[in-house]
Amino acid sequence: MPEREGAIAAYRLYADDSGTTHLEPLELLDRPWENGPGEFKGVGGSVLGDASRVMLMRFEAGARPGLHRAVPSFAVCLEGEIVVTASDGTNVALGPGDAVRVETTGRGGWQLGNKLDEPSLLAVVQMPPQAASAGSEGAG
């Protein structure tokens, strides 16, 4: 995947019908935004999913556990660099502030790792699975 410079990057991890996971860019500013009233006009919010749990993950230097089940979530790199790899082999490196929206459920997997010589931190907000199929929502 091409790396983006300057802007915070976000990605979508989803599973196809066979359970293979894939990564694609997620353009956060292209999402529908709800604007506030009065003095908050122009300040908008976009719902990325219903949170059910917040988790902080610390990856020691060089940690690269194997492919494992991904749960619907929104993950943001807080410190260091986290490499996210889909089961199709595609990977992206998340730097501080970069994010990935995980849409896959039990069939798809991901691998998370830290190639740096220092610890990295990832915040993961888990969300309940949607009733519709994970790939039906699209990237926007």
Domains and CATH numbers, the chain: 8-15+51-130 (2.60.120.10)
Query: Residue 5: its pLDDT value, please?
Result: 57
Whether the pLDDT of residue 129 is over 80: the answer is: no
Query: Residue 139: its pLDDT value, please?
Result: 38
Mean pLDDT across the chain? 81
* 44-92 pLDDT per residue, tens: 777 777 788 888 889 999 998 888 888 889 999 999 999 999 999 999 9
Whether the pLDDT of residue 4 is over 70: the answer is: no
End-to-end CA distance of the chain: 18
Q: Which residues pair with 57 in a beta bridge?
A: 122
Q: Which residues pair with 82 in a beta bridge?
A: 94
The span from the CA of 110 to the CA of 80, in Å, is 19
The span from the CA of 109 to the CA of 15, in Å, is 8
